[in-house]
Amino acid sequence: MKSLLRLVCHQAPERILRCNGVFSLLCSRCTGIYSGFSLGILFLFFFRRKASLFPGLRTSILAGFFIFFNIVHPFLASHFAILDSNFLRFAAGFFCGISLALFVYPLFVNVFVARPGNNHSAGNLREFFFYCIILSIAVLLVFAFRTTGLEILNILAIAGLLGIYLMLNATAAGMLLNWRGKRNKPAAFLMLVLYILLFFSIEYIVLSHGK
């Protein structure tokens, strides 16, 4: 498991979350990204299930800022000691993850679920603030359980890691196959699976050689 996870995360010991002998499987930033993505997808599934459009402009800008901040945070942390902590790495990753969910989920729904006339967006700015607050409270509650909470975060992070790769690969495959017009054809489903496996294989090879 750890050797596979090392393909997507450096797992540096000093960046690992730990509590009473329990360790995060990924670094603090990756744990934040993937657990945030996992919770974001769950939230959208239950409250914005039919969302096939990206969020509005202001929401997209704010979500884009969270993603951008996560990218530049390592640089900022190297220059400002106050920003150099695993908790802030986790927080930056977490808000990046829930922001990514706002863009990945509508893409997936648009390819596999949406019907003509389905113009539901992933939410407006007020809903995005509500979405961030609710998920942040959920994570704080998880942290309150300490070792059990860290184990829950590990589960969420692994689910998010698998989810983001599967959703992006499936969406790309669906676009290539024009899935909307072939969703009821068994042969098209088989081709979809083969394309997804092909994408996973290519990613594995690229990541393996990158290490």
Residue written as tokens 């750890």? 2
Residues 30/8, Cβ–Cβ less than 8 Å: yes
Domain count across the chain: 1
Assigned domain for 47 exists:
yes
Helix axes 57-79, 28-47, angle to 10 degrees: 170
- pLDDT (tens, 9 = 90+) of the chain, 211 residues, equals 667 788 899 888 888 988 877 889 999 999 999 999 999 999 888 888 888 888 888 889 999 999 999 999 999 998 988 888 988 999 999 999 999 999 999 999 888 886 655 667 777 778 888 888 888 887 887 777 778 888 889 999 999 999 999 999 999 999 988 877 666 677 888 999 999 999 999 998 888 876 5
CA dist., res. 100 & res. 44, Å (int): 12
CA dist., res. 55 & res. 153, Å (int): 27
Assigned domain for 39 exists:
yes
Domain with 68 in it: 23-162
Assigned domain for 12 exists:
no
Assigned domain for 98 exists:
yes
Assigned domain for 176 exists:
no
Assigned domain for 41 exists:
yes
